[in-house]
Amino acid sequence: MGAQAGDTLASKQINIVYGANFTKDESRFPGASIFSEDGRQVQFEHQGADLWCDVAIYYQKENRLRALGNVRLQQGDSIELTSGKINYDGQTKLAKAFENVLLETQQQTGQMTLRTDTLYFDRENQESYYNSSGTIVDSTNTLTSEIGRYFMELKKYQFLDSVHIDNPQYILDSEQLDYYTTSKNAYMYGPSTITGETYKIYCERGFYDTKVESGYGIKNTRIDYNNRIIEGDSVYFDKATEFASATNNIVVTDTVNNGIIRAHYAEVYKAKDSVFATKRAVSISLVEQDSLYMHGDTLMVTGKPEHRIVKAFRNAKFYKTDLSGKCDSIHSEERTGITQLIKNPVIWNGENQMTGDSIHLISNLKTEKLDSLKVLNNAFIVSLDSISKTGYNQAKGMDLFGKFVDNELKIIDLIKNTEVIYYMYNDDDELIGIDKTICSKIRITMANNDIEDLTFITNPDGDIFPDKDLPVDSRKLKGFIWRGDERILTKDDIFDEDDNTIELVVIRGIDNPIDIDAEEAERSQNEGDPVNEIPTNTTPASPPKRPKLKKVPLVSFKEATR
């Protein structure tokens, strides 16, 4: 047992490889052996590491030393640490370097350097740590932070406080960040901003591949991308393909046309200037100080702002305060100002239901207000009689043309083979009779989204029938369909039950980083502050320039301790 203990102690001992100008100074350094250069630097070896310096204060019994002047600590072929001074403990294998500290590591991807004022190098755990600001340079990036730790076996840096990455293509700022020197991948754990030439990303937890400018955020993420802002629970971005996607609670804002898309999944293609959105997708735009909501199973927005096209596919619906509708798909084009409702369309203007084979809403390109309405082929307008609540006012024709004034439908013209059934009342709301007429054209004048007047144009043929004289089966025009139970009364009505029961995907998280502050506090409590062990009357050595044997400016013991 004794021999084994002795061997263990011997293996931990700091060994003198070359020591010249030996002396002692018990008054200042009790128990220490002092060595200084003689044209060749003092050299020590300890468990796979070599240390060179101009002056060494060596406590053999305590197995620790202080190295002063042009200090170089080398571990294998891949790690070299230079500084003005180093305190080294052979029992814990902990080195503390200060004054112009430079740590250089050789990696497959090239050389990496770390510069700081004070650096702890824990050889036992192969970690280095600073808390007084540091700068790291590798083949891709320049990184700075107030606090940092380097895990050498993992080739990983962990940064805290004012983290900054400077790259020719982008700038990254973060409160806390892990950086892997081999892959050049960064993991962000606090408010972080990445600013590139054509984009800006903000997130509070995320991943970023600094080589190819690709990554994702999973907390409070926002990307400013071309003329759009993308926000969501999880947002992915890739510069090379000019692509971004987002998942769960997404908002895509069109900063040019002041439009918004909300969904639970979306893709943005910068080169095509397009957005694809699904899962409770809705487009929100401003029309005459009123929000227009458009929904479909899938939404697509394509083209430059002045040529933008919005499409809603399958089960498409829209809503604004006094106008709503539904159909199979919607096609809206910025250049023409035309919004087309395609396949089985129906719209409601106030209490009026309008149907036809195809419906077009047309905006004024200059004022961007609703200008007119077209219902093409089999045009039909119906409203429930507001007094009897049993009959229906109806008008039909081949086509219908409507005119909006101040965003309100004022005039409706029905042309070709027109027919009308209309309930007529006196001022006391007493039914006068039911007007049933056919002619070539009918003009309906509207007020407050209700029929104010009917004008029959060109060969009208009809009569006003007393209520008792018009059979019930004659009170509906051919092709009559009432779709009042489908009417969209609020912006929430554009969503079906399936839309409201979507199960959101679970966003995969990023593991929490190691608590640097807690670990360092524990270390300081156990080890004390080695800075206080440095002689206070020593003068700093000249800044290291990666010293080479027999070529560095040497410092004598007398100069170093003066």
> What value does the mean pLDDT of the chain take?
83
Is pLDDT of 73 > 90? Answer: yes
CA distance 5 to 2: 5
**Residue 109 pLDDT:** 65
Mean pLDDT of 21-49: 91
pLDDT in tens, 430-479: 899 999 999 889 998 888 777 888 888 878 888 889 988 888 888 999 99
Confidence label for 261 from pLDDT (cuts 50, 70 and 90): very high
DSSP string covering 1-42, please?
-HHHHHHHHHHHSPEEEE--S-B--TTTSTT-EEEE-SSS-E
**Residue 359 pLDDT:** 94
CB 61 within 8 A of CB 90: no
**Residue 330 pLDDT:** 93
Tell me the percentage of the chain whose pLDDT exceeds 90. Answer: 38
**Residue 11 pLDDT:** 67
Beta bridge partners of 52: 43, 72
**Residue 225 pLDDT:** 81
Is pLDDT of 286 > 70? Answer: yes
Mean pLDDT of 214-231: 87
Is pLDDT of 2 > 60? Answer: no
**Residue 119 pLDDT:** 93
Confidence label for 542 from pLDDT (cuts 50, 70 and 90): very low
**Residue 555 pLDDT:** 41
In 3D, which of 338, 337, 363, 358 has the Cα closest to residue 346?
358
**Residue 287 pLDDT:** 66
**Residue 9 pLDDT:** 53
CA distance 109 to 147: 24
CB 489 within 8 A of CB 317: no
DSSP string covering 318-369, please?
EEETTEEEEEEEEEEETTTTEEEEESS-EEEETTEEEE-SEEEEEE-TTT-S
Confidence label for 562 from pLDDT (cuts 50, 70 and 90): very low
**Residue 549 pLDDT:** 28
Tell me the percentage of the chain whose pLDDT exceeds 70. Answer: 88
pLDDT higher at 12 or 534 = 12
Spell out the alpha helix ranges (H) of 143-302. Answer: none
pLDDT in tens, 314-363: 999 999 888 899 999 999 988 898 999 999 999 998 888 999 999 999 98
Distances (CA, A) of 321 to 155, 282, 295, 318, 331: 59, 16, 15, 10, 20
In 3D, which of 553, 507, 556, 558 has the Cα closest to residue 537?
558
Structure tokens at 93: 């294998």
Confidence label for 520 from pLDDT (cuts 50, 70 and 90): very low
Mean pLDDT of 356-372: 86
Mean pLDDT of 486-496: 91
Is pLDDT of 277 > 50? Answer: yes
Is pLDDT of 375 > 90? Answer: yes
pTM of the model: 0.75
**Residue 539 pLDDT:** 29
pLDDT in tens, 223-258: 988 788 899 999 998 888 888 899 999 999 888 877
pLDDT in tens, 87-130: 999 999 999 999 999 999 877 667 889 999 999 999 899 889 99
In 3D, which of 124, 143, 125 has the Cα closest to residue 133?
143
CA distance 557 to 562: 8
| AA identity, residue 371 | D
Residue 450, number of CB atoms within 10 A of its CB: 13
pLDDT in tens, 412-443: 999 998 999 999 888 888 899 999 999 889 99
Least confident of 215-219, 284-288, 291-295: 284-288
| AA identity, residue 415 | I
